Structure 1
């Protein structure tokens, strides 16, 4: 019971209280300190308490992963292109056309220094640490996606919250199926880079 209560409190602080606090108006340096300390704590728990290794499994089904991801990417590409065409056509592919070097730089930095830490936190850590708190797997995946969306509340943008919730569901399903941080990070990076490419980068906090 004590362990369950501690984990529940930990979940609330790390995935509700801290993200919501980032939407409040206080010094950026304090937000950076809170984020850094939180990330170090999560890494410590993963490695020393949960005993999670960060090596790439040799048993990954790459063929199925790429097939599924390409299908989902095609659907996302069509829907987001249509959205941009009708609601924000001036920004459609604006960065990749006008600032290709910036596009390349952001795609690299985002994929390696933003996506992977997010997946360590919201998938690897969250699934390992809190799976035992939920008897209903569907509810668990839904909550994971909802908290992933909440983690982007500092953007103060409804569309961002919707997109990250949908993305959170896709990533939660992928991780639940593959149990691979690497695969879900690749998927996350592909979709995120596409949104930046199609012209939704400014809304999602990408430099444009």
Structure 2
């Protein structure tokens, strides 16, 4: 399971074939079953093949992480507020103001049941399995952003593809620096929750 050929086939199936197949119109139950099986396979490989231990990385630089994340969030906030205001001003903070209970519920569910599994797949698993196959670090991170974007192709929305590409770059860089699933999950959750809060939830598949 650790040969280059095996990893290449594995990469193609998990990060290209499966996401593209989800665009095809077939049973949602079958799609969910495939997704669950795929995720269980990833957990198995991480624990049994790669001997990965899920624990908090010692020596994390929390102060630096929060400083950088808040700075990036500020830039994202300015751009997204302008975007929503100019494109559909009625949506600006609409769920937060009109449905605060739904807002809190979605933030919780999204952070724990969407963000964390995504980061296990696209950062922890990807970096653990394929980093040794790339000689160029920048290319390795760029490919991560591409497949993360491709993982959202089922939305069939070009703006979602663009947003997730740049999000993928940010998250890959954070994981590369910290080697922490926890930190990159927190960062991912913060940006995703902000997009829902500012009024872009419908675009990104959030209930609104």
Give the shorter-chain TM-score range: over 0.9
Q: Deviations over 1:154-189 (max 9, x none)?
A: 000000000000100000000000000000000000
Report how far residue 58 of structure 1 moved: 2.7
Find the aligned partners of 1:133 and 1:206 in 2 and give their Cα distance.
36
Q: Is the 8 A contact 2:171 2:188 kept in 1?
A: yes
Per the alignment, residue 72 of structure 2 pairs with: 72
Provide the aligned length of Structure 1 versus Structure 2: 207
Partner of 1:53: 53
CA RMSD of aligned residues (A): 0.7
- Please give the alpha-carbon distance, in whole angstroms, between the structure 2 residues aligned to 1:160 and 1:203: 7
Counterparts of 2:53 and 2:198, CA distance in 1: 36
Where structure 2 has 5 or more consecutive residues not aligned to the other structure, the ranges are: none
Aligned to 1:82: 82
4+ long deviations beyond 2 Å = none
What's the counterpart of residue 110 of structure 1?
110
Q: Which residue of 1 aligns with 2:180?
A: 180
CA distance in 1, matches of 2:88, 2:136: 40
Q: Is the 8 A contact 2:80 2:198 kept in 1?
A: yes
Give the TM-score normalised by structure 1.
0.98
Q: For 1:56 and 1:30, how far apart are their aligned partners in 2?
A: 34
Deviations 1:92-146 (A, max 9, x none): 1110010000000000000011000000000000001001111100000000001
2:199 aligned partner: 199
Quote how far apart the aligned CAs of 1:36 are: 0.3
SS of corresponding position for 2:175: helix
- Does the 8 Å CA contact 2:57/2:179 hold for their aligned counterparts? no
SS at match of 2:85: helix
In structure 2, do the counterparts of structure 1 residues 132 and 58 end up closer, same or farther at CA, with 3 Å as the change threshold?
Answer: closer
